[in-house]
Amino acid sequence: MPKIALYTARFLDLSETFIYEPLRLFRNTETIVYAWQRRNAEIFPYAQCRIGTEKYLREMLAADGVQLIHAHYGYVGVSALGFLKKLSVPLITSFYGLDVYQHTRNPVYRWQLRRLFRRGDLFLACSQKMRGDLLKLGAPADKVEVVYGGADPAKFPYAFNAYLPDQPVNILMCGRFVEKKGFIYGIRAFLKIAPQYPQLRLKIIGTGKLEPELKQEVESSAFNSQVEFLGGRSHAEYIAKIKKCHIFMSPSVTARNGDSEGLPTVLIEAAAIGRPLLATYHSGIPEIVQEGKNGLLAPERDADALAANIAKLLCAPERWPEYAAYGRRLVEAQFNMQKQAARLEEYYRKLTAG
């Protein structure tokens, strides 16, 4: 059984279920976590953790006898290059979004990535779109693979929520209150359509620096009673809210500083449960939200187009079961976390077999 080092900056931020879930599903790998900080241990419990400075982690990696390092985020992969000076093991680096889009505005980081691309053994992108962008940055095509984030079908059982006339229809958004999530456009789109649909409700899970701006946008509207901010929620509470909603919306945009999504895990999880999706033509999103099949897409920052898509869904509730079933099949086929964890373990096996 290969002994693998999972190396990351913080283990783990609340949004980083995409790192924790495969770890939970590994069956043929002994994995030890190495990180600069330990966060949210009660939410992401894991016994084998080494927390400390790079110098301390370098010593522990050697002492533990790991056979491969899997770095999460490009800048962590760059850091891992220092470990390889005294530790001759393969290096895998997974990329997620800001490490491909925002950070690469820095010429020093781009130079560091070129070093990583020369020395690293495998680079994992979370979408086909990101794979193409890594190639543009200089990653060797024969070393870049796509491993989607995913949802564990056992943890996210299919539970279609039917439209019932004269009952409230709930739209849910969930994520950090940062620019790239595009929540301000989701709110504006909802408020445009709310006068025509008094039974429509928007629920928003999350916290962040843009919270005052988002709440001001709602409070200035005559239809603010149809919007509810739910604050930060645990992953279990968030899953429960998806099950209660009818439509899931993720209006992501490219931020002014270049920050961009990879492929939001929340869309995969909502599709797994069986929710029609509303989103934008942004980064890898069209790979999980397939226009007219399990959801509808609008251009970035276009609240009018997003509002039109809300109306389109509300006018055709008979199509919701079709959207829901297609989304579930898509997750089971391409975004199944159990299958993705098994793929990671196969990469580990191949790279440590030699």
pLDDT for residue 166: 85
Q: Cβ of 349: how many Cβ atoms within 10 Å?
A: 14
Query: DSSP alpha helices (H): ranges in the chain?
Result: 17-25, 54-64, 74-80, 107-119, 128-136, 183-193, 211-219, 235-244, 265-273, 303-314, 320-334, 337-353
Q: What is the pLDDT of residues 286-317, one digit of tens each?
A: 999 999 999 999 999 999 999 999 999 999 99
pLDDT for residue 75: 98
Residue 298 Cα distances to 93, 175, 253, 316, angstroms: 32, 19, 11, 18
In angstroms, the CA 260 to CA 215 distance is 23
The CATH fold assigned to 169-334 is Rossmann fold (3.40.50)
Q: What is the rounded (10 degree) CA torsion for 49, 51, 54, 58?
A: -40
Q: What are phi and psi of 320, to 5 degrees?
A: -60, -45
pLDDT less than 70: residues of the chain: 354
For the packed helices 320-334 and 265-273, what is the interaxial angle rounded to 10 degrees? Answer: 120
The CATH fold assigned to 3-150+336-353 is Rossmann fold (3.40.50)
The residue extents of the domains of the chain are 3-150+336-353, 169-334
pLDDT for residue 165: 86
What is the phi-psi region of residue 269: left when phi exceeds 0, alpha when psi lies from -120 to 50, beta otherwise?
A: alpha
Give kind and range of the element (H or E) at residue 30.
Answer: strand 30-38
pLDDT for residue 354: 67
- The rounded mean pLDDT for the chain is 97
pLDDT for residue 330: 98
**Is the distance from CB of 127 to CB of 263 less than 8 angstroms?**
yes
In angstroms, the CA 93 to CA 24 distance is 19
Q: Is the fold of 3-150+336-353 the same as that of 169-334? A: yes
- The residue among 71, 136, 56 whose CA lies nearest residue 101 is 136
**Is the distance from CB of 12 to CB of 73 less than 8 angstroms?**
no
Pull the structure tokens for residue 59. 């010593």
Q: What is the pLDDT of residues 13-66, one digit of tens each?
A: 988 999 999 999 999 999 999 999 999 999 999 999 999 999 999 999 999 999
